[in-house]
């Protein structure tokens, strides 16, 4: 997802939220419909957060597969082999420790971790305050 696509998605979410909130001014306003509309906008936000995080993770995996190759292009076979080494032995998921080791970072990059925590907080309770784990990660609580 490039930046222009992300901006477009955010614009659509804002437009939908604004359009649905303007419906409140209608004399025939139905509170039940508003609740349904809010749920729809919340789901759009959640899908965007998850898609953005997954896109960033895909890019990290791609960088890790190319890391340490000193600027020389990989052949398709080499790339597939490097990708296989990043997969867990059980074939499920990515070995993130291997990715971080290849990228020379010690843990998941803070912005991606923040997206993960934000998506999880939003997913589990979209109307509540952020959970403590997210607040700690952002440095807002001790």
Q: Is 0.95 surpassed by the pTM of this model?
A: no
Q: Which of helix, strand or coil describes residue 71?
A: coil
> For residues 76 and 89, what is the distance between their CA atoms, to the nearest angstrom?
21
27-83: per-residue pLDDT in tens?
777 777 777 777 788 888 888 888 888 888 888 899 999 887 777 888 999 999 988
Which residues are CB-neighbours of 1 under 8 A, at least 6 positions away? 51, 52, 55
82-127: per-residue pLDDT in tens?
888 888 766 678 888 889 898 998 888 888 888 889 888 888 876 6
Structure token pair of residue 1: 């997802």
> For residues 48 and 11, what is the distance between their CA atoms, to the nearest angstrom?
12
């Amino acid at each position: 997802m490039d930046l222009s696509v992300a901006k477009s998605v955010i614009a659509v979410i804002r437009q939908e939220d604004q359009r649905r909130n303007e419906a409140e001014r209608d004399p025939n306003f139905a509170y039940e419909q508003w609740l349904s509309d809010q749920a729809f906008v919340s789901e759009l936000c959640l899908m965007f957060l998850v898609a953005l995080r997954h896109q960033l993770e895909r890019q990290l995996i791609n960088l890790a597969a190319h890391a340490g190759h000193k600027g020389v292009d990989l052949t398709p076979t080499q790339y597939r082999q490097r990708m296989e080494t990043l997969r867990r032995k059980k074939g499920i998921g990515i070995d993130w420790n291997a990715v971080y080791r290849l990228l020379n970072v010690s843990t998941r990059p803070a912005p991606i971790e923040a997206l993960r925590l934000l998506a999880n907080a939003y997913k589990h309770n979209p109307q509540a305050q952020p959970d403590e784990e997210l607040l700690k990660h952002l440095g807002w609580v001790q």
